[in-house]
Amino acid sequence: MRLLLFLFSLFLFTFAYAAQDVEKIKLQLNWKYQFEFAGFIAAKEKGFYKEMGLDVELIEFSNQDIIQDLKSHEVTYALYDLSLLAYLDEQMPVVLLANYFKRSALIFVAQQDIITPYDLRNKIIMASHNELTNSVLGTLLNKFRITQDQYTYYPHNFGSKEFIDGKVDVMSAYISNELFELQKAGKPYNIIDPINYGINGLGSNLFATQEEIQKDPIKAKKFLDATKKGWQYALKNKEEMVDIIYKKYSQHKSKEALLFEANEVEKLIMPEIYKMGEIDKTLLKKNIFYFINSENSSKKIDLDKLIFELNVSTNEIDTSIFFTPQEKAYAEEKKVITMCIDPDWMPYEKLENGEHIGMTSDYMRLIESKIGMSIKLIPTKTWTQSIEYAKQRRCDILSLAMKTKSREKYLNFTEPYLTFPLVVATRNDQFFIPNVKDVIAKETLAIVRNYAFTEILKQKYPDNRLLEVSSVREGLKLVSQGKVFGFVGTLATVGYELQNYYIGELKIAGKFDEQWELGIGVRNDQPKLLSLLDKVIETINTGNQQEILNKWVAVKYEKSMDYALITQIVVFFLAVIILIIIRNTQLKKYNEKIESQSKKLSETNDELHITKQQLEKSLKSTEVLFDCVLDAVFVFDSQICIDVNDAAVKIMGYNSKDEMRGLHIRHFSHPNSFQEVRRKFRQSTSVYESKALRKDGTSFPVLVKGSNVVLNDREVRISALVDISEVKKKEQLLTQQNKLAAMGEMIGNIAHQWRQPLNIVSTTVTGLKLQLEYGGFKQEDAVVELERLNNTVQHLSQTIDDFRNFFKQDKEKSTFSIKSLLEKNMHLLEGMLKSNQIELIYENVDNVTIHNFENEFLQALLNIIYNAKDVLQNKETERYIFINVKKRENNWVELSIKDNGGGIAKNIIEHIFEPYFTTKHKSHGTGIGLYMTHQIIVTHMGGKIEVGNTKYYYNEKQYEGADFKIHLPL
pLDDT digits (tens, 9 = 90+) for 601-648: 666 666 656 655 555 554 444 455 455 566 889 988 878 888 888 889
Helix (H) or strand (E) holding 514: strand 506-523
Instruction: Report if residue 530 sits inside a domain.
Output: yes
Specify the pLDDT at position 607.
61
Question: Which of 530, 544, 99, 518 shows the shortest CA–CA distance to 365?
Answer: 544
Strands 714-723 and 839-845, by their bridges, are unpaired
In a domain, 165, yes or no: yes
pLDDT in tens, 846-894: 989 999 888 888 878 888 888 888 888 888 888 999 999 999 888 899 9
Q: What range defines the domain where residue 656 resides?
A: 625-722
Q: Which whole number is the average pLDDT over 322-347?
A: 88
Same domain for 337 and 451, yes or no, is yes
Q: C-alpha angle with apex 931: 929 to 935, nearest 5 degrees?
A: 115
**180 and 211 inside one domain:** no
Compute the average pLDDT of residues 819-840.
Answer: 79
Residues 408 and 453 in one domain: yes
Q: Say how many residues make up the chain.
A: 970
Lowest mean pLDDT among 665-674, 845-854, 925-934: 925-934
What's the total number of domains in the chain? 5
Lowest mean pLDDT among 39-53, 459-473, 496-510, 840-854: 496-510
Cα separation of 232 and 8, whole Å? 40
Confidence tier at 809 by pLDDT (50, 70, 90) = low
Q: Which of 143-147, 642-646, 681-685 has the lowest mean pLDDT?
A: 681-685
Do 282 and 143 sit in the same domain of this protein?
no
* 932 and 962 share one domain: yes
Q: What integer pLDDT is reported at residue 308 of this predicted model?
A: 79
Q: 967 forms bridges with which residues in the sheet?
A: 894, 944
Boundary-marking domain end, from 683, 705, 722: 722
- Stretch 59-63: mean pLDDT: 89
**Do residues 925 and 870 lie in contact, with contact meaning Cβ atoms separated by under 8 Å?**
yes
Our separate counts of H helices and E strands in the chain read 32, 34
Return the number of other C-beta atoms located less than 10 Å from residue 822's C-beta.
Answer: 17
Q: Are residues 299 and 332 in the same domain?
A: no
Burial of 169 (0-12, 13-18, 19+ CB in 10 A): buried
Asked if residue 656 and residue 640 are part of one domain, the reply reads yes
Burial status of residue 744 (CB atoms within 10 A of its CB: 0-12, 13-18, 19 or more): exposed
Q: Is pLDDT of 942 > 70? A: yes
Residue 797 pLDDT: 66
Residue 209 Cα distances to 50, 367, 961, angstroms: 23, 35, 84
Most confident of 389-403, 451-465, 825-839: 389-403
Q: What CATH number is given to the structural domain containing 636? A: 3.30.450.20
CA contacts within 13 A on the Cβ side of 915 = 11
750 and 803 share one domain: yes
Residue 68 lies inside a defined structural domain of this protein: yes
Residue 387 pLDDT: 92
Tens digits of residue pLDDT in 584-600: 455 555 556 656 665 66
pLDDT at 762: 67
The last residue of a domain, from among 553, 582, 597: 553
CATH code, domain carrying 355: 3.40.190.10
- Does residue 61 lie within any of the structural domains? yes
| pLDDT tier for residue 727 given thresholds of 50, 70 and 90 | confident
757 and 842, same domain (yes or no): yes
Based on the fold, state whether residues 420 and 464 are members of the same structural domain: yes
| Residue at 228: amino acid letter | K
Average pLDDT, the chain: 80
Report if residue 578 sits inside a domain: no
Q: Write b or e for each residue in 252-277: b if 16 or more Cβ atoms lie within 10 A of its Cβ, otherwise e.
A: ebeeebbbbbbbbbbbbbbbebbebb
Query: Does residue 349 sit in the same domain as residue 497?
Result: yes
CATH code assigned at 796:
3.30.565.10
Helices (H), 249-316: 255-269, 281-295, 303-306
**11 found inside a domain:** no
Region of 154 (left: φ > 0; alpha: ψ -120 to 50; beta: rest) is beta
The Cα 234–Cα 225 span in angstroms is 14
In a domain, 478, yes or no: yes
pLDDT at 47: 94
In a domain, 653, yes or no: yes
Q: Average of pLDDT values for 739-753?
A: 56
Q: What is the pLDDT of residue 734?
A: 62
CB 390 within 8 A of CB 523: yes
796 with 914, same domain: the answer is yes
How high is the pLDDT of residue 964? 94
Query: Pairing state of beta strands 23-28 and 77-80?
Result: parallel
**Residues 892, 875: Cα–Cα separation, whole Å:** 35
d(CA 691, CA 682): 19
pLDDT digits (tens, 9 = 90+) for 80-130: 887 777 666 666 688 889 999 988 889 999 998 898 888 999 999 999 888
> CA-CA distance, 747 to 866, in Å (whole number)?
13
Question: 899-928, pLDDT tens digit by residue?
Answer: 999 999 888 888 888 765 666 544 444 556
Q: Domain end: 722, 740, 766, which one?
A: 722
Among left, alpha and beta (phi > 0; psi -120 to 50; other), residue 644 is beta
Compute the average pLDDT of residues 245-249: 94
More confident residue, 447 or 597: 447
Q: pLDDT tens digit string along 705-720?
A: 888 887 766 788 888 8
The count of C-alpha atoms lying within 13 angstroms of the C-alpha of 695, restricted to the half-sphere facing its C-beta, is 13
Report which DSSP code applies to 222: H
Residues whose CB falls within 8 Å of the CB of residue 440, separated by 6 or more in sequence, listed in order: 457, 461, 464, 465, 466
pLDDT on residue 379: 93
Q: What is the 3-state secondary structure of 834-880?
A: HHCCCEEEEEEECCCEEEECHHHHHHHHHHHHHHHHHHHCCCCCCCE
